[in-house]
């Protein structure tokens, strides 16, 4: 189990350390899992791209206010679920969006959920596809990611999953937040260099 202190730190510090971790979801007797390969940090009230910009606090984003290590799940564009990892200390609304996973277990279930013609590398590419592949929806909002059906695990060397090195991590601007002005250019997106499941090939910042 990951310690609570792992999550209780600023989103910018937590975000790159989520890369390489395994997101596992057990649902309806089926277990699916993917290695996290792309994330974005959202850094609280001063970050105009964050749901908590300006100190906004609503029923929708209440989970962002803590405790850390919870899943913040929300619906966008009337069609996609997105899942975030709540960061920072209680009362500081920061979170890290999980943008892409590399499938490592339960591929048949993922294919059934995403469609038979989707390439394996694309099953969890992009935040909406990630939640479809892992069957994550509103029911997982506020889930404790340290334990339970939806949880984060350290990679297993026995399964051939290594912890990424600093050299493996690429920083680049976040995607789809042009409305945030200068905040959109902040290099707060982190991904694994050259991984086929990353949603958009980034340029080094």
**pLDDT 10s digits, 153-162:** 998 766 667 7
Alpha carbon 135 to its chain's center: 14
Q: What's the alpha-carbon Rg for the chain, to the nearest Å? A: 16
CB 124 within 8 A of CB 102: yes
Domain positions in the chain? 4-192
Q: What is the pTM of this model?
A: 0.95
Structure tokens at 97: 């969006």
**In contact, 30 and 106? CB cutoff 8 Å:** yes
**Is the separation of the CB atoms in 37 and 102 below 8 Å?**
yes
**Residues of the chain whose pLDDT is less than 70?**
157-160, 203-205
Give percent of the chain above pLDDT 90. 85
4-192 topology per CATH: 3-methyladenine DNA Glycosylase; Chain A (3.10.300)
């Amino acid at each position: 189990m990951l310690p609570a202190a792992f999550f209780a730190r600023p989103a910018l510090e937590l975000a790159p350390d989520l890369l390489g971790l395994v997101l596992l979801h057990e649902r309806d007797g089926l277990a699916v899992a993917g290695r996290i390969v792309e994330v974005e940090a959202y850094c609280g009230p001063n970050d105009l791209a964050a749901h908590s910009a300006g100190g906004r606090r609503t029923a929708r984003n209440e989970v962002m206010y803590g405790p850390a290590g919870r899943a913040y799940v929300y619906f966008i564009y009337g069609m996609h679920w997105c899942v975030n990892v709540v960061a920072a200390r209680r009362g500081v609304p920061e979170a890290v969006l999980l943008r892409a996973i590399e499938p490592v277990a339960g591929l048949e279930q993922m294919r059934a959920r995403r469609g038979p013609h989707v390439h394996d590398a694309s099953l969890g590419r992009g935040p909406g596809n990630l939640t479809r592949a892992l069957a994550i929806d509103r029911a997982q909002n506020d889930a404790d990611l340290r334990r339970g059906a939806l949880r984060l695990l350290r990679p297993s060397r026995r399964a051939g999953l290594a912890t990424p090195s600093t050299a493996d991590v690429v920083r680049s601007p976040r995607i789809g937040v042009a409305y945030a002005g200068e905040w959109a250019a902040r290099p707060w997106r982190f991904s694994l260099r050259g991984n086929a499941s990353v949603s958009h090939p980034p340029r080094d910042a």
